[in-house]
Every structure is written in C-alpha cells, then in structure tokens.
C-alpha cells in the first residue's frame, strides 16, 4: 500500500509542476491554444492516475476489514 501512496503523491506533484509551467508559459504568450489544450489534457491524466492509485488504496483497506 505504501507503494501506491508514493505513486499517488508523485503523480500529484508532477501534475502541479506541469500545471504551473503551462500556466506560466501561456501567460507569457509562449503557448498556443492548442498547446495549452494538450498540456491541460496531460494535467488531467496525471490527476486521474493519482485518483486510481488512491482508489486502489481504499479498495485494499476495505478488503482488509472485510
């Protein structure tokens, strides 16, 4: 379970790093709308993957208590 928690934290940290970089680049007019859209998709996917890790942790806890 610790491995899943570590993976979730890594994905959340990576998501925040990408989010800040993309926002900064867009604000400085160094990204097109298409590039912004692709970046936002990447951010969403990282958050989604972190959620799956957290879901697996919850599932394992439920199985242990059953």
Q: Which pLDDT belongs to residue 18?
A: 93
Q: Which pLDDT belongs to residue 53?
A: 87
Break the chain into its structural domains and give their ranges: 2-65
Digit-by-digit pLDDT tens for the chain (66 residues) are 789 889 989 989 999 999 999 999 999 999 999 999 999 999 999 899 888 888 998 888 899 987
Q: Which pLDDT belongs to residue 44?
A: 94
- What does pTM read for this prediction? 0.76
Contact 10, 35 (CB under 8 A): no
Helix (H, G, I), strand (E, B) or coil at 39: helix
Would you give the DSSP letter of residue 23? Answer: H
């Amino acid at each position: 379970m610790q491995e899943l928690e570590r993976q979730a934290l890594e994905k959340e940290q990576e998501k925040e790093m990408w989010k800040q970089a993309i926002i900064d680049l867009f604000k400085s007019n160094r990204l097109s709308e298409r590039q912004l859209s692709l970046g936002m998709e990447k951010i969403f996917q990282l958050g989604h993957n972190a959620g799956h890790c957290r879901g697996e942790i919850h599932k394992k806890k439920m199985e242990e208590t059953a």
